[in-house]
Structure 1
Amino acid sequence: MTTPTWDPAQYLRHAGHRARPFLDLLARVPALPAKPPAGRPRIADLGCGPGNATALLAQRWPTARITGYDNSPEMLDKAHADHAGPTADGAILDFAHADARTWTPEEPFDLIVSNATLQWVPRHAERFADWIAGLTPGGTFAFQVPDNIDAPLHALMRELAATPRWKSRLADVLRHTDSVHTPGAYLDRLARLRCATDVWQTTYFHVLQGEDPVLDWVKGTGLRPALTALADDPEARDAFLTEYRSLLRTAYPTEPYGTVMPFRRLFAVAVKQA
């Protein structure tokens, strides 16, 4: 899988739909460990992207010190510009470069959260032990990931990339079906780390507006590796997008009220033993 180059503006075009699963995740996070009167809850957002979701953490925990971590310079620049510093309610947000494949907490955190990131991290479940170890007693590790790698928007992308015209350039750059584990696998892994664990799935039926909105959505996320691989050949990039657009129009027809895109996500909340 190719490490993609990210486009914050493209990603944020569907910010409202993308934020809803994160809010649903945060609603299931229990109270964080109690702090002294002058103490601040310590929160890490692993894979913070452009920082818009990190700002939601500050709304939920307005006395917290929150650090968003990401390995994309483009995303971090946007997060710094839009969200770094103290908030009106008193939280403190900062952002730092880190790679989830290797990041290990250097201080105790009360909450480590990851929003739509771990599907990009090979063998991410093997990192859970280090992250749980970095929590304070009673702290929480919570994440959500897209769980729709078999949906048409991904299946058609992979099928097109495997055709003779594109195979040599794209067949090995996209995410595959093993990028996200089953709910049971996550539950077992986290429970064996002595966490009280809640795992669930939700399918959202997003009603998208505009011309080719599913393509517009996936250009900000799942299609990034292909766009990165073809970045030096605009003619080939546009040809691939034309073919893919045609397939998506058939798979996701436009209705009078918009284009419906079913999107399943997987959630986990694991609370470390106190």
Structure 2
Amino acid sequence: MTNSVSNPVWDPGQYLRHAGHRARPFADLLARVPALPTAAPRIADLGCGPGNVTVLLTERWPHAHVTGYDNSPEMLDKAHTDHEGPTAGGGRLDFAPADVRTWTPEEPYDLIVSNATLQWVPGHTDRFADWITALRPGGTVAFQVPDNIDAPLHALMRDLAGTPRWKDRLADVLRRTDSVHTPGAYLDRLARLGCAADVWQTTYYHVLEGEDPVLDWVKGTGLRPALTALADDPEAREAFLTEYRDLLRQAYPSAPYGTVMPFRRLFAVATKEA
């Protein structure tokens, strides 16, 4: 997670309102990570947020020392309070401030993971070489990112932000349409760095409950830059949210069983030669 206009302020409570849906892709990612090189592995979680999915690493590798890194003070406070400490298998879970844009490992790692963070990091593929260099032989870099910048929830947000009423304040604060690369581009970059790369896409059909659930979802993630930019003007903030809400209601109609939100994600698991 990142923290201003280009670095939005995060709200752990809002983010966690859809924790179950958000955690599933991370579990699916970890299911494809191979055995790690050491019995008590060193693991980094880049962009750990409130730490709720970082805990899954300690369940898969109970002897590991896992550190979650984030540059959002709000997210780190929540992670420290709720999850930090020794693990049941004798390992340790801790959290530390770091910016994924500049973080460079200072010790060998068995696994470096990132969950729904790299889409916020321009030039993130340029970071792969440093991370892979820091892996022990047989270690892995694994990440997943939302791959739906063309979906209505983002397209409508961008279109609205570009209208005359909002463009001066919002047109340049949202995620760029090239914030995530193609699966082939990731595979090529990781393979050229000497890894056996496994890259795939999955579309989840989340059934969301409650009133305006797609708006509630995106208020925890993709809408954060706009909410940050309008934080000093509550009246404008509510006006923008109302306009955007009405657009989302048309794009994601409710059904008797809930509101369906298709959400495509991209996954990559890259294992260094042993």
By the TM > 0.5 criterion, same fold?
yes
Q: For residues 137-186 of structure 1, what are the alpha-carbon distances to aligned partners after superposition, in whole Å with 9 as ceiling and x for unaligned?
A: 10000000000000000000000000000000000000011000000000
Distance in 1 (alpha carbons) for counterparts of 2:87 and 2:219: 31
Q: Which residue of 1 aligns with 2:88?
A: 88
Distance in 1 (alpha carbons) for counterparts of 2:123 and 2:169: 24
1:28-67 equivalent positions in 2, closer than 5 A = 28-35=32-39, 40-67=40-67
Matching residue's letter, 1:268: A
Q: For residues 115-136 of structure 1, what are the alpha-carbon distances to aligned partners after superposition, in whole Å with 9 as ceiling and x for unaligned?
A: 0000000000010000101100
Matching residue's letter, 2:229: A
- Provide structure 2 residue ranges, at least 5 long, that are not aligned to the other structure: none
- Provide structure 1 residue ranges, at least 5 long, that are not aligned to the other structure: none
Q: Which residue of 2 aligns with 1:116?
A: 116
Q: For 1:52, what is the secondary structure of its paired residue?
A: coil
Q: Which residue of 1 aligns with 2:78?
A: 78
Q: Is structure 2 residue 9 aligned with structure 1 residue 5?
A: yes
Matching residue's letter, 2:242: T
* 8 A contact 1:170–1:226 mirrored in 2: yes
CA RMSD of aligned residues (A): 0.7
Matching residue's letter, 1:256: P
Q: TM-score, normalised by structure 2?
A: 0.98
Q: Which residue of 2 aligns with 1:141?
A: 141
Q: Which residue of 1 aligns with 2:177?
A: 177
Residue 273 of structure 1, CA deviation: 0.9
Q: Which residue of 2 aligns with 1:219?
A: 219
Distance in 2 (alpha carbons) for counterparts of 1:244 and 1:147: 21
Residue 91 of structure 1, CA deviation: 2.5
Q: TM-score, normalised by structure 1?
A: 0.98
Equivalenced residues, count: 270
Distance in 2 (alpha carbons) for counterparts of 1:113 and 1:168: 37
* 8 A contact 1:32–1:140 mirrored in 2: yes
Residue 89 of structure 1, CA deviation: 3.2
Q: Quick one: percent identity of the two aligned structures?
A: 83
Residue 2 of structure 1, CA deviation: 1.7
Q: Which residue of 2 aligns with 1:229?
A: 229
Distance in 2 (alpha carbons) for counterparts of 1:61 and 1:87: 10
* 8 A contact 1:66–1:92 mirrored in 2: yes
Q: For residues 171-202 of structure 1, what are the alpha-carbon distances to aligned partners after superposition, in whole Å with 9 as ceiling and x for unaligned?
A: 00000110000000000000000000000000
* 8 A contact 1:76–1:95 mirrored in 2: yes
Q: For residues 202-221 of structure 1, what are the alpha-carbon distances to aligned partners after superposition, in whole Å with 9 as ceiling and x for unaligned?
A: 00000000000000000000
Residue 90 of structure 1, CA deviation: 2.5
Distance in 2 (alpha carbons) for counterparts of 1:258 and 1:90: 42
Q: Is structure 2 residue 256 aligned with structure 1 residue 256?
A: yes
Residue 79 of structure 1, CA deviation: 0.3
Residue 87 of structure 1, CA deviation: 2.0
Q: Is structure 2 residue 212 aligned with structure 1 residue 208?
A: no
* 8 A contact 1:2–1:229 mirrored in 2: no
- Runs (4+) of structure 1 moved beyond 3 Å? none
Residue 92 of structure 1, CA deviation: 0.6
